[in-house]
Amino acid sequence: MAHSEQDRARSKLQGFLEDKLKWHDYTHLVVADEDMDPAAWFIHTIGLARAGDAELIITGTLDHALAMEVISDVVAYGRQAGGLADDQSPGPAVRIPVQLRDVSTPFVRSQRVAQASSRFGASIRVFQIVWADAAGRFPDDPAYDQAGSPQQKLWEAQT
């Protein structure tokens, strides 16, 4: 029974995503379960790869509404700038300090953006939007406040 319930839930999600993608360039999928480590929570886009752009992912405890606004800012910045690149810092075009990291690995494609990969191919590009802590530091800074601003470093995740 659990298997068929899981299949129904998967089918319902697929239908929901297909409907959203009929009317919009992309949509968001939020994965934040109370059983997960909050640093591993994530929001990712589905649909940007359809136009040849990288899908985007934000991990951690950033407010979900703010995260979706940040994604929109980064999408708009990328379109205005003619694309996005690894280690790019969009600056004031985004409402909070962020950096982009290329995380186009098999792990990320299969374990974090599987809905996008299943639609647009296993070779899609994926950029993580990395956000700064309250002091403006990013996770690669030894003084970064991981406890107060937890997020997963997908560029260090399994390849």
Specify the DSSP class assigned to residue 146.
T
What is the CA 115 to chain-centroid distance, rounded? 12
| pLDDT reading at 158 higher than 80 | no
pLDDT digits (tens, 9 = 90+) for 8-30: 766 665 666 666 666 667 888 88
Nearest alpha-carbon partner for 60 in 158, 157, 154, 156: 154
Place of tokens 């992309």: 26
pLDDT digits (tens, 9 = 90+) for 57-88: 999 999 999 999 999 999 999 999 999 999 99
Share of the chain above pLDDT 70, in %: 85
User: How far is the C-alpha of 60 from the C-alpha of 153, rounded, in Å?
Assistant: 10
Domain ranges (residues) in the chain: 23-156
pTM of the model: 0.86
Q: What is the mean pLDDT of the chain?
A: 88
Using the CB atoms, write b or e for 18-42: b if 16+ within 10 Å.
eeeeeeeebbbbeeeeeeeeebbbb
Question: Can you name the residues that pair with 100 across neighbouring β-strands?
Answer: 129
